[in-house]
Amino acid sequence: MSSTRKTPDPRRWKALSILALADFVVILDATIVNIALPSIGHALHASNGSLAWVVNAYVLAFGGLLLLGGRLADLFGRRRMFIGGLALFGSASLAGGLSSSIDMLIGFRALQGVGAAMLAPAARAMVSTLFAEGKERSKALGVWAAVAGSGAVVGLILGGALTSGLGWQWVLFVNVPVVALAGALAPRLIDESRAHTADRFIDVRGATLVTGGLLAALYAVINAPSAGWASAQTVGLLSTSVALLGAFVLVEWRVKSPLVDLRMFRLENVRAANVTMALMAAAMVGMFFILTLYQQQVLGYSAIQSGLSQVPLAVVLMGLAGAAGPLVARFGVRPALTVGLTLFAGGIAWLAQITTHGGYLATVLGPSLLIGAGLALAFVALTDASARDVDEDHQGTAGGLITMTQQIGGAIGLAVVTAVATSHVHGIAVSPSSLTSGFRSALLVSAGIAAAAIVAAVAALPRAARQRTNTVAAVPAT
C-alpha cells in the first residue's frame, strides 16, 4: 500500500519545470565537456591521460555518492539537499571555468560530481512525492524524461557550439545561471519533505563500503581498455569492489537504519527497472561514443558538425517523451518499455550498417530517429517503474538507485565498446576501413546489450495485472 496522498500541490507543474531543468544540467555535464577536451588540453597544457580525468572525476564522484545522496535527502530534507547540491554544483562550475591548471579543473569537476550526487536523487524523489502514482505521475515523468533525458544529446550539441564560439570555459560557466535560477525558485515552489521517522541515524559504515565498492568498480571499468581487462589492476579493483559491496550487503541487513533498505529489491518493478536501466545505459553510452568517433574520424566531421547531427535525435526524444507518459499510464510499464527498447535496439542494429563512404542522410539520420523514439518510451517507462510501489519515505533512495545504475551501466558499456572498437586497430597508421570495421563491431555489441535489456524487461517486469504490489513500508521490519 502506498502512503496517503494529500491534496495535490497547485504549484507542482511549475516545480516540475525547475526540477527537470536542474537534472538536465547534471546529465548535460557528463557529455558537454567531451567536445571541449582538445581545447582544454591546449589551453592548460594537459596530456591525454590528464584530460581523461576531466571526465572521469565527474563520473566517479557522481556515481559513487548517489546512494548516500539519496538517503541523506530522505532523512534531512529533499529540498534542502537539492538546494545545497545546486549551490555546490554551481560554485564548482564557476571555479572550474576559472581554473589555471589541469589539476585544479579535475578537482572542481569532482566537486561538481558531489553536487550532482546531492541534487539528482533529491529532485527525482520530489517529482515522485509531488505527483500521485498513476496517470498524473506518468504524465509528469514524461515531461521529466523529455527535458532531463535529452541532456546527454544536447551536451554534445552545446559543447561544440560554446567551445567554438566562446571558449572551453563556457561549457562550465553555462551551468551557473541555470542552477542560480533553480535555487532561487525552489523555496517558492517546493515544500520541504523527508522520511516520516525520528531516527536520523546515518549509516556511515554502509556509506563507506558502498561508495568504496562503486568507486573501485567504476575506476576499474573506466581504465580497463588501457590497462587491460586481465591486468592485475583491473582484476584487483574488481575483486576489491565485490568484497566491499558484499560487506555492504551484510551491514545493511544488520544495521538498524540502513543506507538502503534491501527489502526494496523485493519489489518487482524496482528490481527489474534497475537491471534494465543498467543494460540500456550501457548500450546508449557506448552507441553515442562510437557514433561520434565514426563521424569525426571516418566521415571527417568537425566537433560542432558532429554535435549538430544529433539534433534530430534530440528533437524526437524530447517530443515523444512528453507523449510517452500517457502511453505508459494507459498500456502499462511492461508493454511501453518493451516497444521502446525494441525500437532502440533496432535503431542501433541499423546504425551498425555504417560504411567507410557513408553519408549522414543514408547512414545516420534514419537510425537516429528510431533510437530517439525508443529512448523516449524507455526512459519514461523505466523512471516510472523505478518509483512504483515505493513509499514516500524511500523515494530519495529509489531515485539515487536508478541514477546510480544508469551511471554504472554507462561506464561499463563505454569500456566494453571501446575495447571492441580498438581490437580492430593495429599499428600506427590506421585506415578508415579498419576504423569502420571496429566501429561496426562495437555497434553490434551495443545492439546486443540493448537486446539483453529487452529480455530483462520482459522476464522481470510484472504483467499489468500484477503491477500493484506491496510497498517497502508494508514489509515487516527486521
User: Is residue 368 located within the same domain as residue 224?
Assistant: no
The pLDDT of 125-133, averaged and rounded, is: 79
pLDDT category of residue 149 using cuts at 50, 70 and 90:
low
How far is Cα 319 from Cα 311, in angstroms, rounded to an integer? 12
* Containing structural domain, residue 240: 204-259
User: Is residue 157 located within the same domain as residue 228?
Assistant: no
pLDDT digits (tens, 9 = 90+) for 307-352: 788 888 888 887 887 777 778 878 888 888 999 999 999 999 999 9
User: Is residue 69 located within the same domain as residue 136?
Assistant: yes
Within a domain: 199: no
Inter-residue contact 390 to 125 (CB < 8 Å): no
pLDDT digits (tens, 9 = 90+) for 239-282: 999 999 899 889 888 877 777 777 777 778 888 888 999 999 99
Q: At what angle do helices 48-76 and 102-130 cross, to 10 degrees?
A: 30
User: Is residue 107 located within the same domain as residue 231?
Assistant: no
Inter-residue contact 240 to 227 (CB < 8 Å): no
Number of domains in the chain: 2
pLDDT digits (tens, 9 = 90+) for 177-228: 989 999 999 999 888 877 666 556 677 888 888 888 888 887 887 778 778 8
User: Is residue 298 located within the same domain as residue 417?
Assistant: yes
| pLDDT cut 70: percent of the chain above it | 89
Within a domain: 6: no
User: Is residue 426 located within the same domain as residue 455?
Assistant: yes
The pLDDT of 66-84, averaged and rounded, is: 85
pLDDT digits (tens, 9 = 90+) for 23-65: 888 878 777 887 777 788 888 988 766 777 787 788 778 877 8
Q: What is the pTM of this model?
A: 0.78
Inter-residue contact 105 to 99 (CB < 8 Å): yes
User: Is residue 289 located within the same domain as residue 223?
Assistant: no
User: Is residue 254 located within the same domain as residue 277?
Assistant: no
User: Is residue 102 located within the same domain as residue 83?
Assistant: yes
User: Is residue 173 located within the same domain as residue 243?
Assistant: no
User: Is residue 244 located within the same domain as residue 127?
Assistant: no
Those residues with Cβ within 8 angstroms of residue 454's Cβ, 6 or more apart along the chain or in another chain: 338, 341, 342, 345
Which CATH number is 53's domain given?
1.20.1250.20
pLDDT category of residue 126 using cuts at 50, 70 and 90:
confident
Among the candidates 235, 259, 283, a domain finishes at 259
Exposed, middle or buried by CB within 10 Å (0-12, 13-18, 19+), for 197?
A: exposed
Closest CA relative to residue 112, chosen from 62, 46, 167, 47: 62
User: Is residue 288 located within the same domain as residue 356?
Assistant: yes
Within a domain: 196: no
Within a domain: 372: yes
Within a domain: 1: no
Longest CA span, the chain: 66
pLDDT of residue 477: 37
Within a domain: 197: no
